[in-house]
Amino acid sequence: MSDTSHRTDAYVRTEMLPEAEPPGTQRGIVKWGRENLFSDVPNSILTIVSMIAVYYILVGVMPWLLNGIWDAPSIRECRALLDGKTGGCFAVLTERWNQLLFGFKYPSEEYWRPAVAFALLFVAAAPVMFFKYLPRKMLIFTALYPFLAFWLVWGGTIWTPIFALVGFIAGYLVWTTFVARSFAAGFFGAIVAALVTWWIGGFIAGLLAPENPLLSAVPSRDMGGFMLNMILGTVCVSLSLPLGIALALGRQSSMPIIKWICILFIEFVRGVPLITLLFVANVVLAYFLPPGTSFDLILRVIIMITMFSSAYIAEVIRGGLAALPRGQYEAGDSLGLDYPQAMRLIILPQALKISIPGIVNVAVGLFKDTTLVSVISMFDLVGMIRGPILASTEWNGVYWELFGMAALLFFVVCYGISQYSQWLERELRTDHR
């Protein structure tokens, strides 16, 4: 064998060397850059081209943003202040801020009312959105919120929302009494009870209405600005959810007539653009109502948008229903549950969970589509900008600041909602990953 063991070497290292730093090209930002930006020739070209593009965009936009004038009464003065430099006339935003938010007819001393309603919207939505982390008792406020918000925004006698609320409570009481015996009895009984209460309440509210209500009444046609988008968005989404569930269940039903009614409705509404439905609300619907009745335009629009979005939500929920394994339906049957019980207790909770991303997509799309009402000459955010603000002599020609602001407002809301839905999806995930 070898004689290495017997050799007496001059030097043998007995302890480990300390770990050397990786070479400069293999660590820190250089390594990251080499891997993520300049990994090969095409990638490097792409990186450099996009860097140049970003640079030019920044060079174009930054002076406009930074040199902006925030305080001027009109575009002429704003341009005089700029004195030939590049800069945005953001003064239009500060000067017309209230108009952008509330429209140009809402009485200015009442601006606090929609503002409070908007702030309370978060309080009302929070227990639904973060149901795991907030006490269930807060849901009581959520239930009260629609009536409170209606009273705040529209004003007038407080008895109208109170009797509306009483009608719902009466319906709920009848429902809880009878639902144990039969779903149909509870359901239709609740509807009858609510209708009777509203009918009686209508008379009493008319009698009780004071001369000068606490909050002065604001007619619907005075709503405008971003407030109108928010009203249409929240009201239509919340109304179309139950309607969409009903349509989806109807479409899955084994009863042919009900199934076909639902299919025809859904396919018809999904086949036409929202604008045509808004035309219907604007010019056609009046022909189909009893002679002499005059409906609010805003109410007609709410009906049409709700129909529109309920058809889309129905399709999303149908997808969720179809995604459930058959075993779930059969399990419900084998437990001896009847159809409403099986749906309420087994099928819908799972199907709705699957459909959350789709429902949120529909909701975001619907909120964006509320800008379409500007086409039928309602003054929502876009309508305000294109109409009263750009047409005024003071601000004629301030396009970028205004449309940039509108885009930003919508972006914040829609991006926020979609981020929330992604968070909720992670939260509700029950599989083990």
Stretch that binds another protein, among 98-106, 109-117, 213-221, 278-286 (CB under 8 A): 278-286
Determine, following the binding rule CB under 8 A, whether residue 184 of this chain makes contact with another protein. yes
Stretch that binds another protein, among 16-24, 36-44, 110-118, 136-144 (CB under 8 A): 36-44
Determine, following the binding rule CB under 8 A, whether residue 37 of this chain makes contact with another protein. yes
| CB of 71 or CB of 181, closer to another protein | 181
* Residue keyed to tokens 């293999």: 26
Angle at 50 between CA 48 and CA 55, to 5 degrees: 95
102, 114 contact by CB (below 8 A): yes
287-297: b (≥16 Cβ within 10 Å) or e: eeeeeeeeeeb
Look at residue 252 and give its three-state secondary structure. helix
**DSSP per-residue letters across 342-355:** HIIIIIHHHHHHHH
| CB of 203 or CB of 260, closer to another protein | 260
Look at residue 103 and give its three-state secondary structure. coil
Cα–Cα distance measured from residue 409 to residue 399, given in angstroms and rounded to the nearest whole number: 16
385, 406 contact by CB (below 8 A): yes
From the CB of 407, what's the least distance to another protein, in Å?
Answer: 5
Stretch that binds another protein, among 2-10, 102-110, 151-159, 280-288 (CB under 8 A): 280-288
Counted residue by residue, the chain has a size of 433
Q: How many residues bind another protein (CB under 8 A)?
A: 55
| CB of 36 or CB of 67, closer to another protein | 36
Pick the binder of another protein from 24, 287, 432, 433 (CB under 8 A): 287
189, 178 contact by CB (below 8 A): yes
| CB of 11 or CB of 287, closer to another protein | 287
DSSP, res 156: B
328, 350 contact by CB (below 8 A): yes
Pick the binder of another protein from 120, 125, 239, 286 (CB under 8 A): 286
The helix-helix angle for 256-271 and 225-252 (nearest 10°) equals 150
Determine, following the binding rule CB under 8 A, whether residue 422 of this chain makes contact with another protein. no
Stretch that binds another protein, among 104-112, 163-171, 210-218, 364-372 (CB under 8 A): 364-372
Pick the binder of another protein from 55, 70, 203, 399 (CB under 8 A): 399
Residues at the contact surface with another protein, assessed by CB under 8 A? 35-37, 39, 43, 46-47, 50-51, 54, 184, 254-258, 261, 267-268, 270-276, 279-280, 283-284, 286-291, 364, 368-369, 371-372, 374-375, 382, 386, 397, 399, 403, 406-407, 410-411, 414-415, 418
